[in-house]
A and B are shown apart, each in its own frame.
Chain A
Amino acid sequence: MDSPCRYEIRLKGHLAARWATRFDGMTLTSQDDGTTLIEGPVVDQAALHGLLHTLRDIGVPLISVTQLDPIVTPSFDNPPPKHSLT
């Protein structure tokens, strides 16, 4: 849990694009269903909680928090899974 992961956070309402300055390195996209998706890398759990605090403080209703695939840095010790090559 302490390695960088990508997260997807869904909020109620369309958040203006300028909020991206508050969520450094994350992308904000407005969805057709009236929600906003914030997506991007989160260094660790502490950073995730910091992000959630920011959302709490601006009072925007939170719908879901999802962990996407962990970021795997390919290396000799950690080769990419075979099946992804085929």
Chain B
Amino acid sequence: MPTALLETKLFVPRPRRGLVSRPRLSERLSHVTASKLILVSAPAGFGKTTLLAEWLAARSAAPTDERQVAWLSLDPRDNDPAVFWPYFVAALQTAAPGVGVSALALLQSARPAPIEVVLTELLNDLDALPSDVILVLDDYHVIEGQEMQASMEFLLDHLPSKLHLVIGSRADPALPLARLRARGELVEIRAAELRFTLDEAAAYLTESMGLVLTAPDVATLEGRTEGWIAALQLAALSMQGRDDVTGFIAGFAGDDRYIVDYLVDEVLDRQPEGVRDFLVQTSILDRLSGPLCDAVTGRDDGTAMLKMLDRANLFVVPLDDSRRWYRYHHLFADVLQTHLLAERADADDLHRRASHWYGQHAEPSPAIRHALAAGDVDRAADLMELAIPELRRTRREATIRGWLDLIPDEVARVRPVLAIGFIGALMAGNEFDAVEPRLNDLERWLEPIGDRAATWTRPPGMVVVDHPEFLRLPAAVELYRAALALIRGDAPGTISHAQLAMDRTTEGDHVIRAGAAGLSGLAFWSQGDLVAAHRGYSLCVEGLQRSGHDSDVLGATITLADIRITQGRLRDAARTFEQALQRAAADVGPTLRGTADMYVGLSRIAFEHDDLDAATQHLERARELGEHTWLPQNPYRWRVAMARLREADGDLEGALQLLDEAQRVYVGDFSPNVRPVPAMRARVLAGQGRLTDALAWAREQGVSADDELSYMREFEHITLARVLLAQSRAGSPKQSAGEAAQLIDRLLRAAEEGKRDGSVIEVLVLQALSRPADGDMPGALTSLERALVLAEPEGYVRVFVGEGPPMASLLTKVAKQRGGSDYVGRLLGAGRRPAGRPAVAAIRGNGRRLVEPLSERELDVLRLLGSDLDGPVIARELSISLNTLRTHTKSIYAKLGVTSRRAAVSKGAELSLL
């Protein structure tokens, strides 16, 4: 982003000397701290900017006011969120250094986060502001994009109390103004209040402008201009140095012409020819500097002219303190442009020269704008082609997308490099339908290249200005085809196009190589081919490392480790996370985004090892690192990991709550969602004995026991097997046992075929648990033995221990058969450890609390459940029927999140209820 522009957009305008002070308006503005938004909404020339500048200057002169001030002048380019938000943050940073750094990093990552995630990050920073900040967004009427409006509304909905927004606009913004008004959170200053009153007009004309006027003169001027400040200003300029002021006023008042036309003509007529020409010629410029004006006018007095206009107050507004950049007052520029078009034939030339100057000064956007205004589409297309790589790197695809509409199709079609830039922008905006025909069209330029790249000559009619990019085209086309195939769910197509992309990359093009490898890795993963998926993703990580996308390396690491965990290679997965952490630690600068996610990953592995303390500590560490080190998916991943710890702790209600939160904050990425949160929830429900609810999940998600099995739905099918097992154990219809057993057999075969040992172990555990019900104890022990053989080298514990007493009894039998085994002994020891470890509870402090407390009667029942008495005896003891006792017991189990008398008693002891 060119710094000269950046500074001028962030410049807080200074009030001119000799302004009319307007206490009635400053007073209204002083309510800023009590409101969310100040809206100054009025047409051009009503003194909005002046009023705000004056108010801010007076405020900062008051030593008691500690509020910081920031300013952002908007222009149409800011309709691209990737342009707007960096400027927004930059403006805030002028008042609160360091704020929004991580939001900015998120915006510019190679995998852009949804804007809400970015803004949440920013809002968190703003929450911690040391003092209040007032941010003015001037010329807000240029913001029209739906996307921008939605994100502003989100910001406003969540605006921290320390930030106060002021919007200056010619039209009311598409924000929920009525709601803000109703809540008293909006201060409005509109045209009616901005108009100069008679007194203000008199003060301005006679005191500030030094005109000698009678009261009726002032009244006539005020009446004719209706207090419109721009008109009064023009009138004052026309009257300065005039002998016959009264005659001028009479002529002005008696004329029907549009005020500005009349007055600008008056002012222009009074200028020397050189000045008038300068004004008309430079009216095409949004911003004026001496050298730029010289380039446009072909003269050499630009700097001197601007200084003179500034001194004479001829509608130039300084844009920086050093007075290098100015702009015309918008209204004045508009009238000047009509003079230009009506009086001169060289407007196109002027634009062409401005475009040239901006091109030389590496500012493609204005260079393109002027080229288009000059009618020089080819030059605009050249400039776009050269500018696109940098825009893509900084994720400003919406800007590129905007250009697409400005270039006629026939121009883009003969420019393959420009065309691929547009294709990238369409992909980024999810406009997939428009991509395929453009790819086909573009490919005809590439067909002759083939293997004869060395002898290839450019086909006639093709236009390329960015030659290095042209060499990347054969690979880039295939990369986009691979991405389209993945979006369509066509895994084989993804893999074959990704392979072609890799074959066709030029030496050292790590970006395309990484992209293609990643896409094919994802396609293999969705097919359940984990070996190939891992290979693809490893190549992707390597490419990302070489091209310096460090944060994305961490994101891809999670995928690599996920694959390893599914393969039952816990130790490899742990190593993957640890190595990534080491690399991240070697990185100088702020902690890399994604670092916290590595700890969440390590927590998952510690959990499988049943080292619940370490698992807890890793999660704690992730939280301490702060959200700026989190990838967008981490809020959900962290909660899922925490929910499993709660579950292991016997706090099933707490686990459910966390899973519900996880579902709410769920953000997907490119990876297939192979462990959906609703399925995790169903597992916990089954653990609580809420089988109807668990089965409702299966119905909602369309999961059934006779589905065709695929890796993508493996987790859900294993979940269903668990629910069916729980159902048969609860004595429900016989058929669920048979259904469960069949499903488990099929799952086992599928997992074995896909070499997914992590899944194989879990399914074998379920098989072992299902068999005793059929009286098949030897079969149960065989399954368990097989699971143990696979699990021992990787140190799996939780997958066994989590199954509770039925598993303990099977393990005891295996231990007898084996005649002593360290591993089985360890599993049995882990199972006997008392439930509920303070470490987990400490994290949130409320882990011990029940969501719904037990009633007095239920507490009585619980105490007796802890005795050796049987049901009928307890019922007699409490003088209640056996049915009532059952109702109480069921309610206790639900509240404690347990399914057995023994668990209820131990949970009760743990909660000090006994």
Contacts and interface: CB of A to CB of B under 8 A. Distances in A.
A13 interface: yes
B256 A21 contact: no
Interface in A10-37: 11, 13-19, 21-22, 30, 34, 36
B44 interface: yes
A11 B256 CA distance: 12
A57 to B, nearest CB: 6
A57 B330 contact: yes
B753 interface: no
B449 interface: no
Contacts of B258: 11, 13-16, 36, 60
A16 B261 contact: yes
20 contacts: A13-B258, A13-B261, A14-B256, A14-B257, A14-B258, A16-B257, A19-B261, A19-B338, A21-B338, A22-B337, A22-B341, A56-B141, A57-B44, A57-B330, A58-B44, A58-B260, A59-B45, A59-B228, A59-B260, A60-B258
A65 B814 CA distance: 88
A84 B60 CA distance: 71
B334 interface: yes
A18 B339 contact: yes
A31 B904 CA distance: 90
Given A57-B44, A60-B258, A22 B170 contact: no
Nearest to B141: A56
A49 to B, nearest CB: 9
Interface of A: 11, 13-19, 21-22, 30, 34, 36, 56-60
A56 B330 CA distance: 11
Contacts of B261: 13-16, 19
Given A16-B261, A22-B338, A57 B170 contact: yes
B428 interface: no
Q: Which 10 A-B pairs have the closest CB atoms?
A: A18-B342, A13-B258, A21-B341, A59-B44, A34-B256, A16-B261, A18-B338, A14-B257, A59-B43, A14-B256
A57 B139 CA distance: 11
Contact of A21 (B44, B265, B342): B342
A19 B334 CA distance: 10
> Per DSSP, are chain B's interface residues mostly helix, strand or loop, or mixed?
helix
Nearest to B231: A59
A56 B42 CA distance: 10
B331 A59 contact: yes
Interface string B231-267: 0000000000000000000000000111111000100
Contacts of A57: 44, 170, 330-331, 334
B747 interface: no
B256 A13 contact: yes
A71 to B, nearest CB: 25
B256 A59 contact: no
B171 interface: yes
Most chain B CB inside 10 Å of its own CB: which residue of A11, A17, A18, A59: A59
Contacts of A30: 256
B772 to A, nearest CB: 71
Contacts of B896: none
Contacts of B260: 58-60
B230 interface: yes
A59 B42 CA distance: 9
Nearest to A56: B170
Nearest to A49: B144
Nearest to B230: A59
B259 A13 contact: yes
B330 A18 contact: no
B335 interface: yes
A56 B338 contact: no
Nearest to A22: B338
B338 A16 contact: yes
B667 to A, nearest CB: 34
A18 B342 CA distance: 6
Nearest to A13: B258
B259 A18 contact: no
A56 B171 contact: yes
B765 to A, nearest CB: 63
Interface in B33-47: 43-45
B849 to A, nearest CB: 57
Interface string B83-114: 00000000000000000000000000000000
A58 B256 contact: no
B626 to A, nearest CB: 44
A58 B334 contact: yes
Contacts of B343: 18
A19 B335 CA distance: 8
Nearest to A58: B334
Contacts of B230: 59
Contacts of B334: 22, 57-58
A22 B228 CA distance: 23
B257 A56 contact: no
Nearest to B226: A61
Interface in B332-363: 334-335, 337-339, 341-343
A34 B257 CA distance: 8
Nearest to A35: B256
A47 to B, nearest CB: 14
Contacts of A59: 43-45, 228, 230, 260, 331
Contacts of A18: 338-339, 341-343
A37 to B, nearest CB: 13
B278 to A, nearest CB: 19
A22 B260 CA distance: 15
B125 to A, nearest CB: 35
Interface in B121-174: 141, 170-171
Nearest to B337: A22
Contacts of B259: 13
A83 B338 CA distance: 44
Given A15-B261, A56-B44, A59-B260, 15 more contacts: A13-B256, A13-B257, A13-B261, A14-B258, A15-B258, A16-B258, A16-B265, A19-B338, A21-B341, A21-B342, A22-B337, A57-B170, A58-B44, A58-B334, A59-B45
Nearest to A19: B338
B25 to A, nearest CB: 19
B404 to A, nearest CB: 17
Contacts of A19: 261, 338
A12 B890 CA distance: 79
Interface in B474-503: none
A22 B43 CA distance: 18
Nearest to A18: B342
Interface in B374-426: none
Contacts of B43: 56, 59
A21 B343 CA distance: 11
A21 B342 CA distance: 7
Contacts of B257: 13-14, 16
Contacts of B45: 59
B638 to A, nearest CB: 45
B232 to A, nearest CB: 13
Contacts of B44: 56-59
